[in-house]
Structure 1
Amino acid sequence: MHLTVRRLTSLLAATVVSAGLISAVPGAPGVADARSCSNSGTGVPIPIINKLFPRGGSPIGPQKQMPAYDHGGTKTIGWVTGPKSRNHTFGRFGISGTDVGVAWDNGRGQTLMAFGDTFGNCLTPDQQWRNNVLLRSNDRNLADGLSLSGRGYAREMFNAIGVDGVEKTAIPTAGISLGGKQYVNYMSVRAWGPPSRWYTNYSAIAVSNNNGHSWYTPPNTIRVNAGITIPVPADWPSFQAGDAKFQQSAYAKGGGAESGWVYQYGTPNGRFGAAYVARFRPGDILNRSRYQYWNGRAWVGNPDAARAIVRGPVTELSVSWSPYLNRYVMLDSPRGVLLRTAAHPQGPWSPARRVAPASLELYAPMMLPDSPALRGTGPELYFNASRWEDYNVLLVRTTIRR
């Protein structure tokens, strides 16, 4: 570990950063080079090349036209982010390139979306790079694309030290609304490693009481990626070997017989590990002593006992209950976008069905809460997906089968 518990605690306790869409500041985008920045310019905070190109390749360049795909029930609908998107995110939010797009309902019918490493104006010394940003949408009809709400330079949700080998960035991996508050699970990335591998310090939960305009991280939600178990006081970050299995996450509210539970799916850092699952009551999201973990036979209180529910490699996940299917749906993207279903949160999960080919170069498929399949009104499932070459997020629709 490069960060002590004391340093982690003091850093995170001070992390209350505005995420509101405020008025543009000096240096915000105007007439400029509106492209996703490669890692060749001065002041680029992260070497994104290994993150984005698992098989090698060139640094990302300007955003291109949306890749057209319509086959087997899956169709690309339109760019969500980037200068070529219908949302014109470079001019409106200072976003020329970003990824992830974790999406959830804020409890009042609005969709919140948390994005990862974000670039703005590539001609500025720092390329207007941010660790993460939050955008909002009131669009309930996704058939013609996803429209974003608001305007103004998108600020970071929460910061990071920004030093390679210490803490390079902080990336959202899951989001959920419970009891009128917003919760985002994120990973603190220590360094980018070989393609499709990175190394985390910890994962943690950031909380917002004001619909995502500001965030704070309770230190007791930190899962240190230490691979060992050390007893610590209840209000300290956790040192448990099993916490390494929950460095990246997906949240799903229980449906059917599991209503009243929230499920947290976890994977280790990178795109190589298996998937695990924990559950908790909505009011206990910040009290990890009340979490239960699936050990292959029963729900138990020890994260070290968690057993894989899907064998690796499992990449960035999203999981939701589908009233249309009366089953849980899981998306990830190790070789194209894969879809699995299960009658219960812990499985057994069906064999993966490829719903988008590897040739589209999509990753981090994040389901949209207003999908008919998740509302119980139809078979259409919409998801955000990031694209390697363009380093931006597009909307994809697939049809799920009963």
Structure 2
Amino acid sequence: MPSRLLSLLACTAVSTGLVSAVPTGTADARACSNSGTGVPIPIINKLLPRGGSPIGPQKAMPAYDHGGTKTISWVTGPKSPNRTFGRFGISGTDVGVAWDNGRGQTLMAFGDTFGNCLAPAQQWRHNVLLRSTDGNLSDGLSLSGRGYAGEMFGAVGVEGVEKTAIPTAGISIGGKQYVNYMSVRAWGPASVWYTNYSAIAVSNNNGRSWYTPQNTIRVNAGITIPVPASWPSFQAGDAKFQQSAYAKGGGADSGWVYQYGTPNGRFGAAYVARFRPGDILDRGKYQYWDGRTWIVGNPDVARAVVRGPVTELSVSWSPYLNRYVMLDSPRGVLMRTAASPQGPWSPPRRVAPSNLELYAPMMLPNSPALRGTGPELYFNASRWEDYNVMLVRTTVRR
């Protein structure tokens, strides 16, 4: 891929600074996800993940309380307690990758986002960032602030070149924020999409602005070409790390950060790499699990730690369990646990049924199970029919 095109595709945009909230009067604003017929054009291009009809209005949150899992409340959308349409100009969004910013605030990165259906381009944004200081999730997840949520980083916006840029993982290291994202070239059939590359966006100001170091780009070319360390990476194994999850090591693994990777789409296996926190931007120091040991600098050797299909996933160390926890959602929301980051991982336990139509389960860092204070594990989960994110609680088992 020509370097000028890479520079264009990796271009990161303006800040997430919040400005005045969108007007909510019926004469000049209408929530796309609450309009009945106003399905946004970008959503039509993004084929349904599991079949079915295009999205319609956001409905009442589906009530589910069974087997230790319970839906708590909408996080986003006009019908959420957070009223994100009026406060942030968000009527529909998904993903909600969550991490602690290092000072007790939860940051959440969302994917493709739209707002006012009557505004130009339906106020489409490729991604947005929201914040929370809510320490008690039992009654819902409260968002902080108000004002129109701008894009974190941009994308070309052209199908077949770069349709969008979607966050898949986030972590705070040394007072800086790091988001791993994928550059989506085009949407394919259901649960299939094609990426140009994945990369790391960095923020020095708690998410108000972002930039992408070129040497963090993993080009999805399927070939290995030796290049200088400062260039984007062309290694066949980079295809295994187009979508990610970060987990800080716990127990004997303290002092390491683990990056779980999957290929683009929802059908690949999961792989794992590790690095020291200070080396997050130096891909030459990453170590990859080859099935027996850790190999430095070569993603080609990575072997699957969980067989596919693995979808958008999140992974965290649970002091309560003294084990790692993994969530994904190929057929309902599945949970696996492991004593070591590389596994072996337990057989999956279904914690939410497929008929809830949830995807992208992203754990909340202030869950009791992740702080060692109880078995409750909270996660954001997206629902396609409403194209919004809800809060779900489940319990982990010792």
Q: TM-score range by the shorter chain?
A: over 0.9
1:45 deviates by: 3.8
Corresponding residue SS for 2:41: coil
Does 2:309 match 1:313? yes
Q: TM-score by structure 2 length?
A: 0.96
Corresponding residue SS for 2:138: coil
Uncovered stretches (5+) of structure 1, i.e. residues with no partner:
none
Q: Tell me how far apart the structure 1 counterparts of residues 231 and 43 of structure 2 sit (CA, whole Å).
A: 29
Does 2:240 match 1:242? no
Corresponding residue SS for 1:47: helix
Corresponding residue SS for 2:120: coil
Q: Tell me how far apart the structure 2 counterparts of residues 304 and 93 of structure 1 sit (CA, whole Å).
A: 42
Q: Tell me how far apart the structure 2 counterparts of residues 395 and 43 of structure 1 sit (CA, whole Å).
A: 24
Does 2:98 match 1:100? no
Q: Tell me how far apart the structure 1 counterparts of residues 302 and 381 of structure 2 sit (CA, whole Å).
A: 29
Q: Percent identity?
A: 83
Q: Which residue of structure 2 lines up, in the alignment, with residue 363 of structure 1? A: 359
1:33 deviates by: 2.3
Aligned CA distance change for structure 1 residues 42 and 389 (closer, same or farther; 3 Å): closer
Does 2:102 match 1:111? no
Q: Tell me how far apart the structure 1 counterparts of residues 200 and 277 of structure 2 sit (CA, whole Å).
A: 14
Q: Which residue of structure 2 lines up, in the alignment, with residue 194 of structure 1? A: 189
1:9 deviates by: 2.3
Q: Which residue of structure 1 lines up, in the alignment, with residue 334 of structure 2? A: 338
Aligned CA distance change for structure 1 residues 240 and 398 (closer, same or farther; 3 Å): same
Does 2:26 match 1:33? no
Q: Deviations over 1:242-268 (max 9, x none)?
A: 000000000000000000000000000
Corresponding residue SS for 1:319: strand
Q: Which residue of structure 2 lines up, in the alignment, with residue 6 of structure 1? A: 4
Q: Tell me how far apart the structure 1 counterparts of residues 36 and 291 of structure 2 sit (CA, whole Å).
A: 43
Q: Which residue of structure 1 lines up, in the alignment, with residue 20 of structure 2? A: 23
1:290 deviates by: 0.3
1:5 deviates by: 2.8
Aligned CA distance change for structure 1 residues 42 and 4 (closer, same or farther; 3 Å): farther
Q: Tell me how far apart the structure 2 counterparts of residues 338 and 304 of structure 1 sit (CA, whole Å).
A: 28
Q: Which residue of structure 1 lines up, in the alignment, with residue 41 of structure 2? A: 44
Match 2:344 to one of 325, 332, 348: 348
Aligned CA distance change for structure 1 residues 98 and 400 (closer, same or farther; 3 Å): same
Query: How many positions carry a matched residue from both structures?
Result: 395
Retained in 1: the 8 A contact 2:248–2:317? yes
Q: Which residue of structure 1 lines up, in the alignment, with residue 173 of structure 2? A: 178
Corresponding residue SS for 2:86: helix
1:7 deviates by: 1.7
Retained in 2: the 8 A contact 1:43–1:125? no
1:332 deviates by: 0.1
Corresponding residue SS for 2:272: strand
Corresponding residue SS for 1:22: coil
Q: Tell me how far apart the structure 1 counterparts of residues 342 and 203 of structure 2 sit (CA, whole Å).
A: 29
Q: TM-score by structure 1 length?
A: 0.95
1:350 deviates by: 0.2
Q: Deviations over 1:113-163 (max 9, x none)?
A: 000000101122311110000000000100000000000000000000000
Q: Deviations over 1:28-70 (max 9, x none)?
A: 55433223289986983453441x332x221101100000000
**Matched residue type, 1:23:** S
**Matched residue type, 1:378:** G
Match 2:118 to one of 119, 123, 133: 123
Q: Tell me how far apart the structure 1 counterparts of residues 36 and 182 of structure 2 sit (CA, whole Å).
A: 21
Match 1:57 to one of 45, 52, 56: 52
Q: Deviations over 1:254-292 (max 9, x none)?
A: 000000000000000000000000000000000000000
Retained in 1: the 8 A contact 2:220–2:239? yes
Match 2:157 to one of 158, 162, 173: 162
Q: Tell me how far apart the structure 2 counterparts of residues 381 and 276 of structure 1 sit (CA, whole Å).
A: 24
1:316 deviates by: 0.2
